[in-house]
């Protein structure tokens, strides 16, 4: 299903429209640029506004997991966001309900690819480019891979 909206809370454009007509329909009353291709440079407001003030925080799930993890802070002043929490599995194995290592299960990192803005200094000018970064968000238990010799 193809749909687009004019804002985070805007109206949905019905499926069946041609992709090139989405821009014209979504922003009725606005001037349509001669070239509707995405520009090479754009101005971006990087302030983050939270629309959901009722976010529930699960208390210390990283320690209650059967595959517990700790967070390492990755700080880079030439990147936005400057600070990213990156998880590290505490053990190679999972733990059982008594907190003892279970050698029949492996602890495995759960990774997510995010987009960050990278700041680069070129002469007296600063430029920014989008960059992909893979972070670990937690750990899970998996059965070990068993390879049989032929």
Q: Which of 120, 136, 131 lies closest to 62, judged by CA? A: 136
Average pLDDT of adjacent 10-residue blocks, the chain of 150 residues:
41 52 54 64 71 65 94 95 96 95 97 95 88 98 88
Residue in this structure with the two tokens 């967070």, named with its chain if needed: 71
pLDDT of amino acid 79: 94
pLDDT of amino acid 58: 66
> Would you give the distance in Å from CA 77 to the centre of its chain?
19
* CA geometry: angle 79, 49, 43, nearest 5 deg: 55
pLDDT of amino acid 9: 45
Which residues neighbour 29 within 8 Å (Cβ) at sequence distance 6 or greater?
none
pLDDT of amino acid 21: 54
CA distances from 132 to 78, 79, 86 (A): 14, 11, 15
Structural domains of the chain ordered from first start: 1-36 (no CATH), 61-145 (2.10.90.10)
Phi-psi domain of 29 (left: phi exceeds 0; alpha: psi -120 through 50; beta: other): left
pLDDT digits over 110-135, tens only? 999 999 999 998 888 888 899 999 99
In the chain, the N- to C-terminal Cα span, in Å, equals 48
């Amino acid at each position: 299903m193809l749909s687009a909206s004019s804002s985070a809370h805007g109206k949905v454009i019905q499926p069946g429209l041609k992709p090139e007509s989405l821009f014209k329909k979504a922003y009725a009353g606005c001037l349509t640029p001669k070239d509707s291709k995405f520009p090479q440079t754009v101005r971006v407001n990087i302030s983050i506004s939270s629309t959901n003030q009722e976010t529930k925080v699960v208390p210390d799930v990283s320690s209650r997991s059967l595959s517990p993890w700790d967070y390492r802070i990755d700080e880079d002043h030439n990147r936005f966001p400057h600070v990213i929490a990156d998880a590290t599995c505490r053990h190679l194995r999972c733990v059982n309900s008594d907190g003892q290592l279970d050698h029949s299960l492996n602890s495995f990192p759960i990774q997510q690819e995010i987009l960050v803005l990278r700041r680069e200094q070129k002469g007296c000018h600063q430029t920014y480019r989008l960059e992909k970064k893979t972070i670990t968000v937690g750990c899970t238990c998996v059965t070990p891979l068993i390879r049989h010799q032929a």
